Amino acid sequence: MKQFGAGVGMLARGFGWWRRRPGVMAAGLVPALIVGLVLLAGVITLAVFLPGIATAVTPFADGWPEIWVSVVRFAAGAATLGAALVIAVVSFTALTLLIGEPFYDRIWRSVEEELGEVPDVRYGFARALVDTVWLIARGIGVALLTALVGLVPVVGGAVGAVLGVVLTGWLLTDELTSRALTARGVDRAQRRRLLRARRGQALGFGVATQLCFLVPLGAVAVMPAAVAGSTMLATSLLADAPRSTR
């Protein structure tokens, strides 16, 4: 729990970057707002049609007693909405980082300058595109898993929601720290070892970010702070890691 709290604290430190570089941070709101509004419209549209979707995917329950029809279709609707939220959060992060590459590169560099020397290796659009596709693919996998768990009557919705937040939080931390770690020559496998070595801290940062993203338009406000906080988290992971995990 101490590590988890430290991870949450990294996001809080990211918000503190508004005091140091308000202009740089404000620019990071632009791509987040564009992507956020598009995805929010999609989620709202899904919610409107959700009862019909739940009915369409559970035709086998048509002849059941009314109470069981309601239970099954509520579970199906909750699972569908939960999976959609997972995909929306992951897609938001991936697409915002891709579209806003120049903006978030400035935030990253401003943090690196404060912490010390800026690494010479550039993240680049091509790398951002590859990471975007990979993150969305992994997010779809998490969404399918949480949807299946959510179909379990009574407890499935709660368990699926918790599982979705934890797994999506892990994906967000993995993606958000990739810029700072890649710039230091840390490849994907090494990054995973670093995150596993400080699992609690990684989850604390990712879960806190994920929960903020679930607030309407919260993702827009949080994204610049998440980029700044993840840079500080990445340098902390490297500083604390034993040489064998690098």
- The pLDDT of residue 241 is 64
Distance CA 97, CA 95 (A): 5
Digitized pLDDT (tens) for each residue of the chain, 246 residues in all: 789 999 999 999 999 999 999 999 999 999 999 999 999 899 999 999 999 998 998 888 888 888 888 888 888 888 888 889 889 998 999 899 888 888 998 999 999 888 877 777 666 677 778 888 888 899 899 988 988 887 777 777 788 888 989 999 999 999 999 888 888 888 888 988 999 999 999 999 999 999 998 887 788 999 999 999 999 999 998 887 655 455
Q: Is 116 left (phi over 0), alpha (psi -120 to 50) or beta?
A: left
| Residue 45: partners with Cβ closer than 8 Å, 6 or more residues away | none
CA angle 169, 175, 176 (to 5 degrees): 85
**For position 206, what pLDDT does the model report?**
94
Q: How many CB atoms lie within 10 A of CB 44?
A: 10
Which residues, 6 or more positions from 25, have their beta carbon under 8 angstroms from its beta carbon? Answer: 17, 18, 107, 224, 225, 228
Model confidence, pTM: 0.84
Instruction: Please state at what angle helix 66-99 crosses helix 29-56, rounded to 10 degrees.
Output: 160
Percent of the chain as helix, strand, coil, to the nearest 5: 85, 0, 15
DSSP annotation of 86: H
C-alpha closest to that of 218 among 82, 89, 83: 89
pLDDT of residue 244: 40
Cα gap 142→163, rounded to integer Å:
9
Crossing angle of helices 156-176 and 218-240, in 10° steps, is: 60
Contacts of 64 (CB under 8 A, 6+ apart): 72
Q: What is the CA radius of gyration of the chain?
A: 19
